[in-house]
Amino acid sequence: MSLRYALLAVLEVDAMSGYDLYKHFESSVGHVWYAPDSQIYPELRKMEHEGLLEGEDVPGGRSGTKRRYHITEAGKEAFAAWMNTPIAYQRERDPVRLHATYMETAEPSAARAQLRAHIGHHSEQIRQWEEIVHQIDSGTSAILNRRLEKTAPEDQERTQAFKRYAYEGLIIRSEAEISWAHRGLRLLDRLYGPETGGMTQGGPSAAS
């Protein structure tokens, strides 16, 4: 249900085609709300039908025409209403914790691999997000700059601050995951003994 608000958020800055939005999602909003093209196109049509957007065929694109959507007053209102409405919390459905709950039934090597993959995944995520935080701080984020151009000067600091704040949240979350996974690796060492039969010596030396 959030896809449409992600789309509205982007379209508040600029009118765009479905393809533009799809590309946009790969680099900006997509970091917090992924959507494939096959979901974006029908959703745009639906939103147009509901009066949140207006589309017009412009002859710009490579192949004849493309459909450019711009946000309507109703669309702006819908977005503002969503922003001022508290989020409804979903009930827990956490595959990682479900898996961990029964780890005694897994092979220790598979459990270790799982936790290492968890660390790897979240480390990579943090790396990406920190890059973006850096771009936000240094004013080198093309997408944010585009948005700031359309923002009243007195609101620019806030716009920037909240973008940064959202990415900080992602980073904090992933850091918590990593520290939990390290704890899990130590637990595995305690319960099954330190890993045996490594291929090479000189693995991670004692570093807390």
Partner DNA sequence: GAAAACATGTAACCGGTTACATGATTCT
Partner DNA sequence: AGAATCATGTAACCGGTTACATGTTTTC
State the sign of the Cα–Cα–Cα–Cα dihedral 130, 131, 134, 135. Answer: negative
Give least dist CB 4 to DNA, A: 8
Q: Is 48 exposed, middle or buried (0-12, 13-18, 19+ CB in 10 A)?
A: middle
Closer of 58 and 161 to a copy of itself (Cβ): 161
**CB nearer a copy of itself, residue 17 or residue 160:** 160
27 near DNA (CB under 7 A): no
Tokens at residue 176, please?
A: 């918590």
Task: Say which residues have a Cβ less than 8 Å from residue 148's Cβ, sequence separation at least 6.
Answer: 156, 159, 160
Does residue 143 bind DNA (CB under 7 A)? no
Q: Which amino acid is at 19?
A: Y
CB-nearer residue toward a copy of itself: 92 or 200 = 92
Q: Which is nearer to DNA, 35 or 133 (CB)?
A: 35
DSSP strand pairing (16-17 vs 53-58): unpaired
Q: How far apart are CA 19 and CA 39, in angstroms?
A: 12
Q: Which is nearer to a copy of itself, 61 or 108 (CB)?
A: 108
DSSP letters for 100-158 = HHTGGGS-HHHHHHHHHHHHHHHHHHHHHHHHHHHHHHHT--HHHHHHHHTS-HHHHHH
DSSP reduced 3-state for 70:
strand
- Considering only residues 50 through 109, tell me which ones interact with a copy of itself, judged by CB under 8 A: 79-80, 83-87, 89, 91-107
Q: Are 141 and 132 in contact (CB under 8 A)?
A: yes
According to CB under 7 A, which one of 27, 32, 36, 97 is a site residue for DNA?
Answer: 36
Partner in contact with 22, chosen from DNA, a copy of itself, none, beta carbon below 5 to 8 Å by kind: DNA
Interacting residues with a copy of itself between 102 and 161 (CB under 8 A): 102-107, 110, 113-114, 117-118, 121, 155, 157-159, 161
Q: Does 59 bind DNA (CB under 7 A)?
A: no
**Residues contributing to the site for DNA (CB under 7 A):** 1-3, 17-20, 22-23, 34-39, 41-42, 44-45, 60-64, 66-67, 90-91, 93
**Residues contributing to the site for a copy of itself (CB under 8 A):** 2, 5-6, 9, 29-34, 79-80, 83-87, 89, 91-107, 110, 113-114, 117-118, 121, 155, 157-159, 161-163, 165-170, 172-173, 175-177, 179-180, 183-184, 187, 191
